[in-house]
Amino acid sequence: MKIVTKLKIFGTFAAVLVIILGAIIYWRASQVDLAIEKDRLAGSLVKEAFILNILSGDYIQTHGERAETQWMSQYEKLNKSIDSYTIDNQEEQVIIDKLRLGQKVILVHFSQLQANIEDEGSPGIEEFEKRLAGQLSIDVQSIVSSATDLADINSKNLAIVRQASSFFILIVVLSLGFLFFFTYTLLAGSISKSIKELIEGTKVLAGGDLSFRYKTKNKDEFGQLSLAFNDMAAGLQKMDEIKTQFIYLVSHELRTPVGAIKGFMSMINSGDYGDRTKKLERPLFLITASVDRLLHIVNKLLDVSRIQADKILLNFDNYKIQELIDESVLEAYPAAAEKNLKLEVKKNNYFIVHADKDKVIQIVNNLLENAIKFTEKGIISIYTEQAGDKVCTFISDSGIGIAKEYQPKLFDKFDEIKLEEAGKTSGIGLGLYISREFAKKMGGDLWIVQSEPGKGSTFAFSLPVSQSTGKNNKNGDYI
Amino acid sequence: MDEKNKKQILLVEDDIALAEMYQDKFVLEGFHVYVSRNGVDGLEAALRIKPDLILLDILLPGMDGMTVMKKLRTDVWGKTVPIIMLTNLNANDTILKGVVEDHPAYYLMKANSEPAEVVGKVKDVLKEI
């Protein structure tokens, strides 16, 4: 289901919840209003009965015409109050019936009292009047009492309705709130999960794994985005393959003419074409150096394309690592001597590694080449030590060092930007990448041990200890 | 050295500069050098001249070096003639896979090897036979 459809459903669902909540609150509020109104009517009944009681007393005392009129008027008011009262249950019905009966009784007694008052002077009338007055008072008080009972019932009922409504509304609000939150969490969770997956995939792609693809069956917007992401990744992978193929073809094609130049130069330099004139010596030297550099670059590009196409051939054998290091040091010696740098080799003839000779020499060459390139004075030292089933070779220099922020980028391809400040960007930034890939292919690794600007660097690479010759024997020569 | 006693080398190389470079070096070192610029000519020249050793490039126009070698190995004379392959291809590349074991007396040298190294290799191989 599409996200937009899910959001629409969720919106409709939320709106329905709000409407239900509103209707429930309105219904409960009406119930409370009704109870309040009834409570008011009951209160009014009490008030009318109470006034009638006072007026009864007044009439009994004064026998006046005004009191009589007031009593009658109040009686009517009470009557109206009783009529306007809505009966909801049996209990109320009993009280109202009692009130109506009481009403009739007091009217009879009031009329009798009226007649009696008019007959004043008849023998024994005074005694009768007292009795009638007493009866009226009792009847009216009985009405007041019944009205008060009704008011009490309503007060209690109002309290119950209020409490019930509050509780009911609370339960409904909580239930709807939970329902809303649950649905929201479900929706938000599904969206958030998809976004997280896309972020993870993007990171994997950014990390260089262009083969990463989403396996999605979703047909929503995220599913479509995942498919678009896959298309983009496929495009990038295709471009990367084309780039690798291009580098391979270009470098391969370059090697033939460069090889010819180098061959001719070596023949000229060795005198195969006769003696060189003095004037030509310097240009010939520079041409030779440039061709060497060009060949070096072309070879590195070929290595990169082979690494990327997984076409590196390794000829494994067992070697004394010191012999391979010595071969490389011999090659690096002139360059170090030219800068007055001391090459210090702590020899150890006991470590035997299982590796490809040419690749190991290439790694040491590269690390020494970098050390010489970025060191102006001091010492470059090389030593080996065994760590578990690996032999580690350390190459330290007293050169410019590398700031921490640039160190993670050191092993990226074509990345020598970190050396721009030092004005040392003469390479193409492939050496460390190639060396590390070679070390990994041989079952080892290559890493930076430490480096600090102005305090030099230490690089190390590891190679597996030869298994066939057994454990390296530090007390004797190798087998 | 007497022309008759000179060792004969057939160089099959399509790149003019490389061909001329190796030719110059081998001549200087006392070899007699024949040069072919493509695979078809190289095969024909080899069977006709029957040189002491063949320097064969792999990527050649017309017929590639591998095919030339396979065809030579079917010939009575060509079965044993030493062949040095000159190539920039890695031995892991598809074109080289599976040929090493099937075709004896052939050697692999990088095409960008110094002329002196190639001459050295040729001399070593010729000493062996």
Q: What percent of chain B has pLDDT over 70?
A: 78
- A230-269 CB burial, b ≥16 within 10 A, e <16: beebeeebeeeeeebeebbeebbebbbebbbbbbbbbbbe
Q: Which region, left, alpha or beta, applies to residue A340 given φ > 0 means left and ψ of -120 to 50 means alpha?
A: left
Cβ–Cβ gap A263/B115 under 8 Å? yes
Q: Which residues of A touch B116 (CB under 8 A)?
A: 266-267, 270
Cβ–Cβ gap A252/B88 under 8 Å? yes
Cβ–Cβ gap B115/A260 under 8 Å? no
Q: Which stretches of chain A drop beneath a pLDDT of 50? A: 417-418, 421-423, 470-479
Cβ–Cβ gap A311/B93 under 8 Å? yes
Which pLDDT tens digit goes with each residue over A98-136? 889 998 988 888 888 888 777 666 666 677 778 888 888
* B92 part of contact set with chain A, CB < 8 Å: yes
Q: Could you say which DSSP state residue B7 is in? A: P
- Nearest by CB: A256 against B22, B88, B93: B88
Nearest CA in chain B to A259: B112
- Nearest by CB: A295 against B17, B112, B116: B112
Residues A421, A427, A432: CA angle, nearest 5 degrees? 100
Nearest CA in chain A to B117: A263
For the record, the structure tokens of A470 come out as 């057994």
* B71 part of contact set with chain A, CB < 8 Å: no
Taking the CB of residue A374, how many other CB atoms lie within 10 A of it? 18
Distance of residue B33 Cα from the nearest chain A Cα, in angstroms: 17
Task: Scan for tokens 């590349």, then name that residue.
Answer: B93
Instruction: Quote the pLDDT of residue A479.
Output: 24
Nearest CA in chain B to A264: B21
Q: HSE (CB half, 13 Å, CA atoms) of A107? A: 13
Q: How far apart are CA A7 and CA A4, in angstroms?
A: 5
Cβ–Cβ gap B24/A295 under 8 Å? no
- Nearest by CB: B15 against A256, A266, A312: A256
Closest CA to A196 of A217, A235, A226, A219: A226
Instruction: Quote the pLDDT of residue B106.
Output: 67
Q: How far apart are CA B113 and CA B116, in angstroms?
A: 8
- Bridge partner list, A392: A385, A462
- How far, rounded to the nearest angstrom, does the alpha carbon of residue A386 sit from its chain's CA centroid? 44
Q: Which residues of A touch B25 (CB under 8 A)?
A: 263, 267, 272
Q: Which residues of A touch B17 (CB under 8 A)?
A: 257, 260-261, 264
Nearest CA in chain A to B15: A256
Contact between A361 and A381 (Cβ < 8 Å): no
Which pLDDT tens digit goes with each residue over B73-101? 889 998 888 888 887 655 544 445 445 55
- Nearest by CB: B115 against A258, A266, A306: A266
Q: How far apart are CA A210 and CA A231, in angstroms?
A: 11
- Measuring CA to CA, how many Å separate A419 from each of A58, A297, A385, A430? 115, 18, 30, 13
Distance of residue B81 Cα from the nearest chain A Cα, in angstroms: 26
Instruction: Give this complex's ipTM.
Output: 0.83
Q: Name the pairing type of β-strands B53-57 and B83-87.
A: parallel
3-state helix, strand, coil in chain B (%, to 5): 40, 20, 40
Cβ–Cβ gap A255/B111 under 8 Å? yes
Report the sign of the C-alpha dihedral through residues A90, A92, A94, A96, in that order. Answer: negative
Q: Name the pairing type of β-strands A445-452 and B8-12.
A: unpaired
Q: Which residues of A touch B100 (CB under 8 A)?
A: none
Determine whether B40 is exposed, middle or buried from the number of CB atoms within 10 Å of its CB (0-12, 13-18, 19+): middle
Q: Could you say which DSSP state residue A355 is in? A: E
Touching B: A residues 281-320, CB under 8 Å: 295, 302, 306, 311-313
Q: List CB contacts of B39: < 8 A, sequence separation 6 or more.
A: B12, B60, B61, B62, B63, B64, B65, B67, B68
Q: Which residues of B touch A264 (CB under 8 A)?
A: 17, 21
Which pLDDT tens digit goes with each residue over B13-32? 998 998 999 999 999 999 99
Instruction: Quote the pLDDT of residue A208.
Output: 80
* A264 part of contact set with chain B, CB < 8 Å: yes
Substitution target from A256, A291, A298, A313 for chain B, most B beta carbons within 10 A: A256
Instruction: Quote the pLDDT of residue A474.
Output: 39
* A267 part of contact set with chain B, CB < 8 Å: yes
Q: Which residues of B touch A266 (CB under 8 A)?
A: 114-116
Instruction: Quote the pLDDT of residue B99.
Output: 55
Q: What percent of chain B has pLDDT over 90?
A: 43
Cβ–Cβ gap B25/A312 under 8 Å? no
Task: Scan for tokens 């031995």, then name that residue.
Answer: B91
- Nearest by CB: B18 against A256, A267, A312: A256
Q: List CB contacts of A233: < 8 A, sequence separation 6 or more.
A: A205, A210, A211, A212, A213
DSSP A115-167: HHHHTTTSTTHHHHHHHHHHHHHHHHHHHHHHHHHHHHHHHHHHHHHHHHHHH
Structural Rg of chain B based on CA atoms: 13
* B102 part of contact set with chain A, CB < 8 Å: no
* B25 part of contact set with chain A, CB < 8 Å: yes
Contact between A463 and A439 (Cβ < 8 Å): yes
Q: Which residues of A touch B92 (CB under 8 A)?
A: 311-313
Q: List CB contacts of A83: < 8 A, sequence separation 6 or more.
A: none
Structure pTM?
A: 0.59
- Nearest by CB: A313 against B28, B92, B113: B92
Which pLDDT tens digit goes with each residue over A228-264? 999 999 999 899 888 888 888 887 788 888 888 999 9
Q: Could you say which DSSP state residue A471 is in? A: S
- A390-411 CB burial, b ≥16 within 10 A, e <16: bbbbbbbbbbbbbeeeeeeebb
Substitution target from A250, A253, A267, A315 for chain B, most B beta carbons within 10 A: A267
Size of interface A-B (CB pairs under 8 A): 58
Instruction: Quote the pLDDT of residue A390.
Output: 93
- Nearest by CB: B112 against A262, A273, A312: A262
Closest CA to B71 of B12, B3, B2: B12
Cβ–Cβ gap B17/A264 under 8 Å? yes
